[in-house]
Structure 1
């Protein structure tokens, strides 16, 4: 499996875990010093994992497209893409799109999330 394929698959798993409230997955994959930037502000792992675990996220479906991987070094890379999200908001299904970038670092042969940013379009 190529690094590009591995990281694209990992990014899809991050969205799956987010939809399903799989905080254990986030606990394993997100590095201690990781940051997320979104319309809600800047958050670290201490905020991210409990929020995912609570599963208060209204996401029903997330489709990723235009995935591109840029390998920065042997052990670091970024993934950029567009996500189309179907969410249950105010008891109605709504769709919106975000442009996103995630940065990963490989440590002990495992890819770890270091940074994630998304901008709603």
Structure 2
């Protein structure tokens, strides 16, 4: 009986942290979804607010920081027209750091070429002054093998 009471007590103490983690996961999923829309809409004001000042963006064509990414989107060098999100996974590392993985098919215009690519995208979010900031966005192209 004593073991049962202790077990229930431990569960009650840990329940708020599970609920809080689930809330953070959903908040980050919603923020990521909004980010894809802002990229499609070329809403650089919202993106500039979301991107951490020291953020890094890793693409097939290179790696750069916040200012260049915002400039690339603003000037249409890359237009993220549509991200079809197939899967989302979230890992809450602590109250200030969350990693999100998206498996997507991205329709984009790069230069004058419209391209579609499958990617696994890693997003790292950090909490700063009560706001989530995107600190890293990495695109990893998924190789699709014939017949599989």
TM range, smaller chain: 0.7 to 0.9
Moved over 4 A (4+): 88-94
Secondary structure of 1:49's aligned partner: helix
Query: Gapped runs of 5+ residues in structure 1?
Result: none
Q: Could you tell me how far apart the structure 2 residues matched to 1:60 and 1:33 are?
A: 25
**Higher strand content, 1 or 2:** 1
Query: Gapped runs of 5+ residues in structure 2?
Result: 1-21, 143-148
TM-score (norm 2): 0.73
Q: How many residues align?
A: 121
Q: Could you tell me how far apart the structure 1 residues matched to 2:113 and 2:63 are?
A: 28
**Higher helix content, 1 or 2:** 2
TM-score (norm 1): 0.87
RMSD: 2.1
Greater RCO, CA 8 A, separation 6+: 1
1:21 to 36, 42, 49: 42
Contact kept, 8 Å, 1:18 with 1:57, in 2: the verdict is: no
